[in-house]
Structure 1
Amino acid sequence: MTSPQQGLSPRQARRLRMAIAGCAMTAMAVVLVMQLGDGSSLRSVGLYGAAFVLSGAVIEMSRRGRTRLGMAVLVAGFVLLLGADWWLRGR
């Protein structure tokens, strides 16, 4: 008897991580449109633009099979972007 497979296959994990990055990109687009409607500053546009680039890079890394690295980059990048936003608002 063989034991049932645990966890996701590499292909399923890759697709899941691509979907997460795509959802993050969509959420950033919605927030950016709302910010621009409120007369947002250049700082906000720059931070959301960086988030778009970050999400796109993660999707491309996932397509090439670098899913774990892509998720690490996504998490670290969003933490840095949120920290930069908090730091810039405090000034």
Structure 2
Amino acid sequence: MSASDQDTPAAETEETEETEETAQAEETEQADELDELDATESPAEGLTPKQARRLRVAAASVLLVALAVVLVIRLASRTSVLVVGVYGLAMILCGIVIELSRNGRTRLGTWLLAGGLLTALALDWLVLP
């Protein structure tokens, strides 16, 4: 095998990564353009989609920090794999909600955040000692 044959997969991987980044940037630009169109069509009816996304990202970020603090407090009082599991999954869920909101899926993110946090609280109350 020649050296040029060995470089081909690496070059394809770099091209694929660049293509994915470009596609993601284009999707974000398209979502922003749609937000601007929506904002001009519906005057003063609640939040604009861009504001809703920012609000959900901020809410999920605050909850992520709060869950981290509660995890540290719970681990200080009682070390358990279940504690790490429940609060770790809730923190991962907050990260997923942040990413969904950044990509324009605010309703889905809201439902996941509410359902996931209620589930985490129920597991904390019912399962954890």
Q: TM-score range by the shorter chain?
A: 0.7 to 0.9
- Structure 2 residue runs of 5 or longer lacking an equivalent are 1-41
SS in 1 for 2:47: coil
Q: Deviations along 1:26-54, whole A, 9 cap, x unmatched?
A: 00011112222224211111111011110
Q: Which moved more, 1:31-40 or 1:48-57?
A: 31-40
Query: Residues of 2 paired with 1:38 and 1:89: CA distance?
Result: 12
Structure number with larger C-alpha Rg: 2
| Residue matched to 2:86 | 47
Q: Does 1:60 align with 2:99?
A: yes
- TM-score, length-scaled by structure 2: 0.62
Query: Residues of 2 paired with 1:19 and 1:41: CA distance?
Result: 30
SS in 2 for 1:8: coil
Q: How does 1:49-88 map to 2 (within 5 A)?
A: 49-88=88-127
Structure 1 runs (4+) deviating above 6 angstroms are: none
Number of residue pairs aligned between Structure 1 and Structure 2: 88
Write the letter of the residue equivalent to 1:6.
E
Q: How does 1:19-30 map to 2 (within 5 A)?
A: 19-30=58-69
Evaluate the alpha carbon distance shift between residue 58 and residue 89 of structure 1 in structure 2; reply closer, same or farther with a 3 A threshold: same
- Structure 1 residue runs of 5 or longer lacking an equivalent are none
Evaluate the alpha carbon distance shift between residue 45 and residue 21 of structure 1 in structure 2; reply closer, same or farther with a 3 A threshold: same
SS in 2 for 1:6: coil
Q: CA RMSD in A?
A: 1.8
Identical amino acids, percent of aligned pairs: 50
Structure having the higher helix fraction is: 2
Q: Which has the higher contact order (CA 8 A, sep 6+)?
A: 1
Q: Which moved more, 1:30-39 or 1:43-52?
A: 30-39
Q: 1:4 Cα shift? A: 5.2
